[in-house]
Structure 1
Amino acid sequence: MNVLAIDSSNLVMGVAVTTEDKVLAELTTNSRKNHSERLMPAIAQMVEAAGLKPEDLDRIVVAEGPGSYTGLRIGVTVAKMIAWTRKKELVGVSSLEVVAQNGRGFAGYIAPFFDARRGQVFAGLYEEKEGEIIPAAADRLVMIKDWLPELRKCGRPVLFLSNDLEKWGKLIAEEAYATLGESTQNVPRAAELARIGLRKTPVSDIHHFLPMYLRLAEAEAKWLAKQGR
């Protein structure tokens, strides 16, 4: 099976083309550039680099969130467009679950997170069992000042993985149970996204597949506030 994996859910943009047992092509960028302008050319480049044509793809796997509202809409929209027009399978994977794969081998909990502004983080909690990284709790939006004391009560070491450690690393490092990920561990890999997506069931209705925002867009929240809701 030929898989195209797409991740534009956060600052890091990743595209990979893989099979069940081989990474054919992979691209990762970690810079403040416009995903809307760069994603489609990156996809075309990776498919060509893999020696394939769009019709050779069998499954499209996309990072479904949480993350940047705009980034999620771009990635999910592109993935749905390709899956629908090419009649391919579509699979969504948690963006936090992708980052958690970089903690494989850690003896404790793995806590991937993304900064969500205003003191909040999109937070996950995972652990390794029988060689697989599985959820220990549901992904959620939480105040970091509340999240860290909660993890303190778990009684296990916790590996924090995030491209946003520059902002939150100093605070987290004050916790005795905490280990901070290395730079290469904090960046999600599109090839890992593809690998996870191979194990998941495709969505039954491509048109109704939506990103996992975990919160309203700022404009929606302001509109609801004006309505007194």
Structure 2
Amino acid sequence: MIILSLDTSSESASCALLEITIEPLKPEAQTSKITGIRLLSEYFLNTGMRRHSQTIAPMIDTMLKNAGIAPENLGKIACTVGPGSFTGIRIGISTAKAMAYGLGAATAGVSTLDALAANAIYYEGLLCPMLDARNAQVYGGIYLNSTEGLSYGISECRAQSLDEMASRLSTLCKKTGRKKLMLMGSGYRNNPDFWHAFAKQANEQENICVRFADSMDDHVKASVVGRLAAFGHLDIHPKELKPQYMRETQAERIRRS
């Protein structure tokens, strides 16, 4: 099976093709088993110019042509569903839905924060992917990576102030006894003074080593989105593919008022 995955939920945009090898379903088995996964192609764009509505479709078209994959051979379309840029999330979901309906393919929705955290599966400790939510807020979640693997969402993922996010991190470091913490994403990149002060205080007062993700791991990658979609049993009907904004849209605020 070929999975096409994409992400347009933040400042970067990417798409990827993954080939999934599935073990033939045995009569007594409830689900099929994935025995292999191979990255065929990946395109990534991070110019700071959020023109996802203009770039993602040509990126996908070029990638398919260069990989020699016909659209009708795609078995699943996966995309990030948020949190992140409201407009970017809608672009990704509408692209995935249009392709899935047109090709009769399955769809899968992946959390943007899950995909970002999965970039750092090599790092043993607490992971905090954050996306800038503006107005001194972030969309953030806290994950634990250990020898047993990545534990998704050990703390609620939601929109919160910088101070609240910092407080939750300090509390969870104490609760779990973890002394290593990695911060990832635009939530820390766009608020460097705040998070460097937090790191200094955490080190001096709690002996916690705070690390900032390098540029290669600091953006969502479509290949990771595809991998999570393959192994996470996230398949849904295209009509069920919906955004996870994590806070009210402007239209919802207007209706409520």
Q: After TM superposition, is the score higher than 0.5? A: yes
Q: 1:34 to 1:161 in 2, by over 3 A?
A: same
> 1:174 is matched with which residue?
197
Deviations 1:10-59 (A, max 9, x none): 11101001113211111111121311111111111111122101001111
Q: Which amino acid aligns with 1:142?
A: Q
Measured in 2, the distance between the counterparts of 1:198 and 1:210 equals 19
Mean alpha-carbon deviation: is it higher for 55-64 or for 44-53?
44-53
CA distance in 1, matches of 2:19, 2:42: 12
Cα shift at 1:202: 4.3
Query: What residue in structure 2 maps to residue 3 of structure 1?
Result: 3
How far does residue 131 in structure 1 lie from its aligned partner after superposition?
5.8
Cα contact 1:6–1:16 (8 A) shared by 2? yes
Structure 1 segment 213-224 matched on structure 2, within 5 A: 213-224=245-256
Q: Distance in 2 between matches of 1:170 and 1:198?
A: 38
Contact 1:108 1:127 in 2 (8 A): yes
Choose which of 167, 181, 191 in structure 2 pairs with 1:149. 167
1:199 to 223, 231, 254: 231
Task: Report the RMSD for the aligned CA atoms in angstroms.
Answer: 1.6
Tell me which of 40, 44, 50 is aligned to 1:33: 50
CA contact (8 A) 2:77 2:107 kept: yes
Distance (whole Å) between structure 1 residues aligned to residue 91 and residue 194 of structure 2: 32
**TM-score normalised according to structure 1 size:** 0.92
- Please name the residue that 2:137 is paired with: 120
Give TM-score scaled by structure 2 length.
Answer: 0.82
Matches within 5 A, 1:17-28: 17-20=17-20, 21-28=37-44
In structure 2, what is the equivalent of residue 132 of structure 1? Answer: 149
Q: Report percent identity of matched pairs.
A: 26
Provide the C-alpha distance between the structure 1 equivalents of 2:67 and 2:145, rounded to a whole number of angstroms.
Answer: 31
Amino acid at match of 2:165: W
Unaligned runs of 5+ in 2: 21-36, 203-207
For residues 37 and 158 of structure 1, the distance between their equivalents in structure 2, rounded to whole angstroms, comes to 37
Contact 2:15 2:43 in 1 (8 A): yes
- More moved, 174-183 vs 66-75: 174-183
The reply to whether residue 95 of structure 1 matches residue 112 of structure 2 is yes
How many residues are paired up? 225
Q: Distance in 2 between matches of 1:188 and 1:203?
A: 20
Greater Cα radius of gyration, structure 1 or 2: 2
Cα pair 1:6 1:15 within 8 Å, conserved: yes
